[in-house]
Amino acid sequence: MFWTEDVAAKCVGPQIINDSKTPSGRVHVGAMRGVLIHDAIFRTLRERGIEARYLFGVDDYDPLDEIPAGKGAHFEQFLGQPLCNVPPPDGSSASDMAEHYISEFFQVFEELGVKVEKYRMRDIYRSGKFNEAIDIILRNAETVRRVYKEVSNSDRSENWFPFQTVCEKCGRIGTTEVFAYDGKEVSYRCRPDMVKWARGCGHEGKVSPFDGRGKLPWKLEWVAKWISFPVTIEGAGKDHSTKGGSRDVSAACLRAIFQKEPPLNVPYEFFLVGGAKMSSSKGIGASARDMANLLPPELLRFLMIRTKPNSPVNFDVHEEGIVKLFNEYDRFHDRTVTGKATADEAFVTRLAAPASIEGHEFNANFQLVTALIQMPHLDAVKEIEKRAGRPLTASERAHLEARIRSAQVWVDGYATEEEKTRLQETLPARAAELTQAQRAFLHALADALPDTTWEDDALQSKIFEVARLTPVEQSLAFKALYRVILDKAAGPKAGNLLAFLDRDFLQRRLRELPFDRVQFWKETSVTADELRAWHTKEAAKIASQEHRVNVEGAVFSTEYTFTLTDGKRVLRRVVTEGTPAPEGVLA
């Protein structure tokens, strides 16, 4: 059973799912994990016939407490003010800072197929929707102080009240402290030393806490949301879900003040890039927009939801990591459309798709696509259609074009020079590091190409065959190919790569590196005893055998070619000096 089905099994009656985000800068991709976890739960509930709504809040009444990377000159003067009251960066068409940053985030929602009912905290507070909750919480300030102490061992003074007003003089909300409530108005001061990141103006005053004149601290704001909307499911990140953490404090306040149980929590671990947690205010890591540019919607959804929420997701943008992600998704998708998937594989494939996967049966290998877009003489779409063996459906064509865009973003913005696939116009200098056996393999492959069908699978099979008959380890054979063609140790599937190249060019390149014949023989030889031991072990698999003797000066290479019962041929070589290996070496 997939993890969202476990969550759904705990739900009875209509459900209201809630999530929210403080738009204090470009929203980093880590925030998408909560968004997509909640979306997966929402979709699962709907699929099970359970009535459900998915609310998403913009916490734009939070104070500006950190400056987005590189924006100090503009934002520093507004530190401490509600985000919705802070002007947007220069050149923005948005009404305020919060809208500037959240609009980009919501565009990603659209692309990922995430359908939410949006609300903004400025509207919630100003409309009076929280007035009743604010009044009850302020009247129970002593209870809140007790819960803070009991649950998180956090001390609050006897005159601390859980509310922050918007200072009537300087407009800051992050520097105000409420010290009294008479049932109608709160008394507050705007303290210069309240926080390190903003300086209050020192004003003291008295004001109604209702209709948007201030806000609850976010732990109590959670409580107000849960009771007012009301919320039945809301997950929280690892940092909030620890024992005695924010979630525990909020849940305890809800029980103590309103005698209600908190929403079902689905705690989730961090999303990491290269093992590091990200911060949008510090400019570390990738924004949600950046990651949505890199990964097609179904891949980003798959990445976030395939792992159980309580396990971290660590995404590696290097070639090995991103290719592995695409390959894993393709495996799930292919097994689903062919009816071979497990129940969980099929379920996560459906949840990962922004829309139906009907009409989408073929996926182009991502590593192959990245290679194609780096070969300007090739049309990537035509080459992929050749490999599919038929015209792509409209859905498949759209998915291919998305992969082409992703591949271009990866090559331009993330790939290291070593990871880029560049066809080398001349023999790379590092090809000189190849062994004599690898060089001989390249020459033998060049000799075999004229009679090889110029098609992916045929070329791939020929590479394996020539490696067995050289003989050289398969990994070393492929490394030699990639080195002389791309100046890399690895690359896309070799058969695919060779099929893109001109036959004459390839033959010339493979023969360009000379090799020492005797040294090659010695590197690939076995002793007579080793040959006999191998022959005894593999005898049941050998259908026939033949041998020949090659000579270079006083050095003899006696070569035994074995045809196996599966039709494959392998070669073993015994090198001697002065005389060839005895005729009866395998007698």
150 lies in which domain range? 140-219
For residues 28 and 58, state if they share a domain: yes
Query: Which ranges constitute the DSSP H helices of 295-379?
Result: 297-305, 319-337, 343-352, 366-373
pLDDT tens column, 467-488? 999 999 999 999 999 999 999 9
For residues 253 and 382, state if they share a domain: no
Domain count along the chain = 5
Residue 512 lies in a domain: yes
pLDDT tens column, 6-47? 999 999 999 999 999 999 999 989 999 999 999 999 999 999
234/188 Cα distance (integer angstroms): 32
Cβ-based neighbours of 200, under 8 Å, separated by 6 or more: 80, 167, 170, 172, 175, 176, 189, 190, 191, 192, 193, 194
For residues 357 and 475, state if they share a domain: no
CATH code, domain with 119: 3.40.50.620
pLDDT category at 383 given cuts 50, 70, 90 is: confident
Asked whether 100 and 92 are in contact (CB, 8 A), the reply is yes
pLDDT category at 276 given cuts 50, 70, 90 is: low
Residue 439 φ/ψ, nearest 5 degrees: -65, -45
Residue 241 lies in a domain: yes
For residues 366 and 395, state if they share a domain: yes
Residue 53 lies in a domain: yes
Residue 546 φ/ψ, nearest 5 degrees: -150, 160
Domain end point (choices 363, 389, 413): 413
For residues 252 and 115, state if they share a domain: yes
For residues 145 and 12, state if they share a domain: no
For residues 180 and 95, state if they share a domain: no
Q: Count Cα atoms within 13 angstroms, Cβ side, for 10.
A: 11
For residues 302 and 278, state if they share a domain: yes
Asked whether 61 and 80 are in contact (CB, 8 A), the reply is no
pLDDT at 277 over 90: no
Residue 73 lies in a domain: no
Residue 72 lies in a domain: no
For residues 266 and 288, state if they share a domain: no
- pTM comes to 0.85
Average pLDDT over residues 139-161: 97
pLDDT category at 283 given cuts 50, 70, 90 is: very low
Residue 198 φ/ψ, nearest 5 degrees: -155, 155
Residue 474 lies in a domain: yes
- Report the chain's terminal Cα–Cα distance, integer Å: 60
For residues 310 and 383, state if they share a domain: yes
